[in-house]
Every structure is written in C-alpha cells, then in structure tokens.
Structure 1
Amino acid sequence: MSRELVLQLMDTHAGGDVSRIVTGGIERLPGATVREQMHYLRDDADGLRKLLLEEPYGIPEMSVDLLVPATDPAAAVGYIIMEVMGYPIYSGSNTICTATAVLESGLVPKREGRQRFALESPAGLVQIEALVENGVVEAITCEGLPSYIDTYRASIHVPEVGVVTYSVAYSGGFYALVDAAELGFHLTRDEERALADCAHRIVEAIQAERGFSHYTLGDVGPLPFLHFMGPVEQVADDFYRSRSTTYVHPGVICRSTTGTGTSARLALMNYEGRIRPGDKLETVSLRETGFIGKCTRVRHEGQGQVVENTITGKSYVLARSEILVNCEDPLVECAGLHHILSTAHSSERGE
C-alpha cells in the first residue's frame, strides 16, 4: 500500500502571472495572526513553497497562495503568499487572484454588480471590491500598501552594466526603480532574457552595497525587486500609461507589471510631482497586459510622504485540480512539508 497526500488547487493568473491557490490539504497552521502563520511556514514548513514552485509540480515563475482561516473577524479569508524570493507580506497580483478564487470557490458568495469584502494578508486587512457581470468576476480592485520613496536617484557601478541611476520605493517590498531607456531597453518581449540578466546584476550590486529599513517595520530583508520603467504617456487629464517590467530576484521576469510594482511607480510619480490624488496610471507589460493603479491619498509620515493607492486588474481561472504528493517519489522532497499535510485528504492505493 502507498499513501498519497492530496492538495486541492485552483490555478489562476492576473496579467499573465500564475498564482496557484491552495484551497485544501494543509493542516491549520500555528499562529495568532496570518503574519505569524506566514512566519511558521517560512521557518518550519518551507517545503510547501518549494514543492509547488519547483519540478515536477511547478516552476519558479509561478506564485503560491495558501488560503487559511482569517484571524481578523472583519476578513472573510486569510492568505499567505509564496514566491521564488520567499514570503512577501503583500502582492497585488496575488491578491487579485486570491480574491477571484475566493469568489469562484464560493467562500464568498458572488453577487451581481459591485460587492465588497475583506481578506487578511500577512500585511494586515485588505479591502476588496469585485465587479461581477453575468456571473463572471470581471475586475478586482484591491488596496495597495501605503508606498513611499526611500531613495531618489542614487548611482551605483554595476559590473558588466556600468553606472546605473536608480530610486528605491517601498510598496510591500523594496523596489529598485530604473529607467529602461537609460539601460538601452524598449521593453519588448524579445528582451526578456536580457532584462533578467541586467536586473540580476543591478540587484546583486545594490544588495552588496547597502540594506534598507522600513520606517515602522524595520528590517524586512534585502531588496528583492527591480522595476524597469518605460516612458509615461498622458492619456487624459487624470490618466497616464507606461510600459513596465518587474523583476523578482533571483532570475524571474514577471509576466504582469505586478501590483506592488505599479504602487511603487505611483509613489515615484507623486514624489516627482507628476501625479496627485485621483490620478491613475496603467502599467503595461511585455505581454501587453496591464494593471491600473490609482493614487487615492497622500499623507506625510515619518520623514516623507506616503501614497495610499488601489490596484485594479482581472484574474482568470485556469484549472481546478488535485496534486498527489507521494513522498516515496525520488523527485519529491517532503522534508519541511509532511508535518503540515492533512491526512484527512490522503488516499491509499494498492500496488
């Protein structure tokens, strides 16, 4: 007899970035908050992230979102985000995908028109507005984290690239923001490999030179993201558009422009006096997909100005499936995983 442990999944994507939503098969995690449960996964059960982002089950370009019971009574569901770089406390594209999965799975009943509910992320409560038309989730608008500029137009020498001018924003993680044209890029799909190689060198150089500290959260780890910025086009009095590409260290160019990348751009454009509350920015990816960020409020906090914002996008359901986790398979590494797999979802078969 061989026991297979089963994970229930809903695969989704927003802007091309695939988010694999784990809807069942994991035991309840210890921790009084979703943030504490994230710390438990990171420190004691990182095998789940590795299992679903590595062969034979996944690839590093994907993300994983584990649904957990909310600890905040105002939230319908909690979720923990897992990526190749680790455990970000927030992600716009993952939030859009998770909100869609929560509606499509019936955890929050769908209603025609606009409806509001809250999710609990590791960063805290996130307000969601969903637009449902003819039973289809056509758009999700979620709060972006309050974003601000930490560093404006610093310079660094990067081996094999040269002197690079960059700014740094915090928008759920620290982002290096660089001008694509200054580095010789047009932000077309055929540049994807070269963009990843260039970004890898820049992030490595910045990480080696300095660290960053959030004004309330303190040390949140080394800078993991880089955002290539294309020229900004003004489409209307309060609407702007720009080609953009986000890199996640190590080695991943996101299919979408990312929600936190869009929030970082809003913070920079506000810092430069180019947008104000009520203005919107559409970021457009290498694959011609986009998110719309809106600057909703600017307030002064700490040593600078903080941009409150929302991100709007659409997520598509790709598949509902089960993954069979057989720890006897030589390609499957169950260390750091087996103790959180639910035996309630196991199956036995004769050999």
Structure 2
Amino acid sequence: MLGHDEHIYIYIYIFFFSYDTAAFVSGRAISREAARKRRRVEADVFADLCRLLPLRASVRDHLDKPSVIRLALCYIRLKALLQDEMYVSKFFMGRVDAMAAPEETDFYLTVLEGFMMVLSSDGDMMFLSDNVSRYLGLTQTELMGHNLFEFTHPCDHEEIRSNLRLSEEEFWSDAKRDFVVRIKSTLSLRGRSTNLKSATWKVLQCQGRARPCAGPSVPPYLLLTCRPLPVSHTLLCARTFSSQHSMDMRFTHCDHRVLSILGYTPHELVGRSIYELCHTLDTICLTKHHINLYSKSQSVSGRYRMLVRGGGYVWVESHSAVIPGARASKSRTGGLQPLLILCVTYVLSGVEEPFLQLSLNQ
C-alpha cells in the first residue's frame, strides 16, 4: 500500500525526472554513462511504483510508464474517496463487495448484466469493474484514470455534465441518476476486438446515485451501473407486448397481448399516439425517452404509467429502438428506407386505482 512517504517519493521523482530531462536536452556536459544511469534509475523507480499498485502480476507486466503514473494517481484518489486501504485493494481487483468471495462477485456482475463505474465530479473514471472488457472490449486498466468525455459521443457531453452536477437540494442526499449515453466499443458484431480507431458507438443505460463525500477536500462522485441496451428482447408471456410506432410515437402495429393488459384491441390503437395512453404526470419521462430515441437510436423509458380501459393504470417500462422500415415499393431500390420505432413494453404491476378514470379514452 502507498503510504505518505511513497506519495512524496512519487512527486519528488516526477520533479527530478522533468528537471533532469530538461538538463539533458539543453546541456551538452552530460555524458553517455550519466544518461544510462538516469535511465536505470528511472526504470527502477517505475518498477517499484508498479509493484506497489494493487493489480494482478499479469496486468502489471504489460503497463507502460504513462499508465503506471495514471493508475497510481487514480489509486490515490480512490483511496482518499473510500478512506479504507482494504477496500481499495478489493476494488482494484474488480470486486463489488470488499468482503465478498471472487465467485460471489462474478455472480453479482453477471446478474447486473453490465459493469460498475465510479465517476468523479469532473468525469474522470476512478474505477471500473473488471468485466468492462466483456461489454466494451477495453480493459479496466485502459480506462481507469481517463476522462469519460474522451470515450463518449460529443452530443452526449452536456447530458453527462448535467448528471455530474449536484444541486443544493441533492448535495446531502443520494441523488438518483438515470441516463443513456453512447460510448466507444472495440467489439465487433461477431465479438472480436478491434483497435480504438475502428471503435463503434455502444448505447449504455447508466443508473446509480450521486454521492457527496464526508471530507471537505474530496469532491462528490457518481456510483453507476452501466448496462448495454440489448438489440433483441424476450417476450415474457402475457406480461409483455411489442408494438411499432411512427417517429411521432403513433401506433402502426401492436401484438394481441395488449388486449389482456390494457383492454384495447390492436386495431383500436393503430393511429393513436402513445401519449394518449400515458399518465399526465409521466409525460416528461416519456418525452425524454422519445428525445433519446431521436438522438441515440436506442433508449429505455424508465417506469411510467399506461392507462387501462375502464379505469386505472399499470406501471410499465419500454425498451425501444429506431429501425429502418420496409420500402413502400419493391421496385424502388434507391432512396432511404423510412424509419420506425420498435418498442417492447414490460408490465411491472397489476391494475392500480381500477375505478379512477383519468381520460375520456378510458
């Protein structure tokens, strides 16, 4: 573990190395033997610093000098955040719970169907769970210490900044966060890893909390679980229904399961907007979901209420994607295909307030 003396040693060495390098470049009095000695000292210091990092030996052997410095500084920040040396080592080894066995940790991460990430208030990735490579192709050590803005779509940066900020009301509470971003992925469609220059955008749903720190010198941070949005979905018996919509969210098709859930026949819904079936208080939630679809092509609505025929409502969550539709004519081979929205809606509750009518359509 890095103690106070080791921290000072790092900073003194960085200062000495920068000064000695400048002297070597500008002055001609330094001999080749002195240069060799400087490189030997440099290599020894980096080797000692690398051994102090709580990483697997197989990972440490492949770290270059900038990565060693980056991970050392990331470790120091994470240590100040957690204020417990035992927890720091467990986090660096990719464990979710410091007291959990490795097999328990693997089980937790499998159930999450995603990876964990700790973000500083500036967007620096202070920690990612070891299974991040399974979803992005980039390893834990390749990402830790870098800024999230370097790997996310420029159009999503403002949304990320708004989620990193804490209002006065949120500062002393665990403020919830739920947003969708596009991040670089080096995994091809066949699961093979490519280089970063050939990376594609993967849509992630990030859920978690913004947490303030007890210490005045430690800024607040975000603790998130990041889950890639699936391309396909499994319909869960009668509690799930699929639907297709035009880009203004009007139904163009709906499967028969909707009759047993909402009481409407598929034919009755065609041409109607999904906003007509949404509880008025949840319109903002659905609008945000709609905007994400336009900009990112995939989105998760979060929980909202859909009105049931006769009265009441059910809590649902919709997973949606923008896909190209069929061309109007097979003879027309040119031109862009029209777009449509494909939704899979999961019903999360039974009918609530069954005698309360909130719309004339009910």
TM-score, length basis structure 2: 0.24
Bigger relative contact order, structure 1 or 2 (CA pairs below 8 A, ≥6 apart): 1
Greater share of residues in helix: 2
Greater share of residues in strand: 1
TM-score, length basis structure 1: 0.24
Q: Which has the larger radius of gyration?
A: 2
